Amino acid sequence: MLKSRVIPVVLYDGRVVVKSIKFARHRNVGHPVNVARVYNAREVDELIFLDISATVENRPPNFELLQDVADECFMPLTIGGGIKSLDDIRLSLLAGADKVCINSAAFSSPSLIASAASKFGSQCIVVGVDVLKSEEGRYRIYKHSDKTMAKEDPFDFVRSLVELGAGEIYLNSVDNDGMMDGFDEDLIARVCESVSVPVIVAGGAGKLDDFAIAIKCGASAVGAASIFHFTEATPLEAKRYMFGAGIATRL
């Protein structure tokens, strides 16, 4: 049985780590290299670093900064933001990333997923999907790059991503982002039932029990930011809680 993971998620805007609420109202929380150093000392399972302004500003990833971050990381590192080409992926991996997270390009250039999986292997291709509920109560995909909702059905869309070669799905609930009020359990269960690859879920962790709930809904890993930035909870405490709840995890 694969062990469930707890993954701190670090959002940064240029060279500053921020934390958002519902993808807005950013709050500065430090420098990317310093944050990476702290999580490395805590021996976390993995780390996800996402540049939230790269695509919006139409610029490539800051590979120099990513190299500095990777130098502090002795755990698997996933980086995302501004990934639009095979060369972006190649340079990200050369900078020290173990995996890359593709988001906006999954819409603008879905063939990139297939090409990247063929060239670098599905195991290092993560595709991010941001989901919110419409006023009618339907799940919709939110496109961070242009602040619009996509026409694609989220559950059909994640299936198509796996068919293209995605090795992992990073599922984020926009409605729950930064709220620390629990995960959208129905969304997690439906996405996990739709695909055969691991799903990392994010958006909502506010207490240790939320981690166990997400895993029991079908997630392979739980990504979290606010709970680790703004409370005394640590990734190790989350894993110990999960272990106590009967969930296989690496301690």
Task: Please indicate, yes or no, if residue 249 is contained in any of the structural domains.
Answer: no
Cβ contact 9:50 at 8 Å = yes
The boundaries of the domain holding residue 233 are 5-244
What letters, b where the CB count within 10 A reaches 16 and e where it falls short, cover 41-50? eeebbbbbbb
The pLDDT value recorded for residue 144 is 73
The pLDDT value recorded for residue 1 is 66
The string of pLDDT tens digits covering residues 209-230 is 999 999 999 999 999 999 998 8
Q: What mean pLDDT is predicted for residues 102-112?
A: 95
Task: Please indicate, yes or no, if residue 187 is contained in any of the structural domains.
Answer: yes
Answer yes or no: is pLDDT of 14 > 80. Answer: no
The string of pLDDT tens digits covering residues 73-96 is 999 999 999 999 999 999 999 999
pTM for this predicted structure: 0.95
Answer yes or no: is pLDDT of 172 > 70. Answer: yes
**Overall number of domains in the chain:** 1
Q: How confident is the model at residue 251 (pLDDT cuts 50, 70, 90)?
A: confident
Task: Please indicate, yes or no, if residue 250 is contained in any of the structural domains.
Answer: no
| CATH number of the domain encompassing residue 229 | 3.20.20.70
Distance of alpha carbon 175 from the chain centroid: 15
List of residues 6+ apart from 119 with CB closer than 8 A = 86, 89
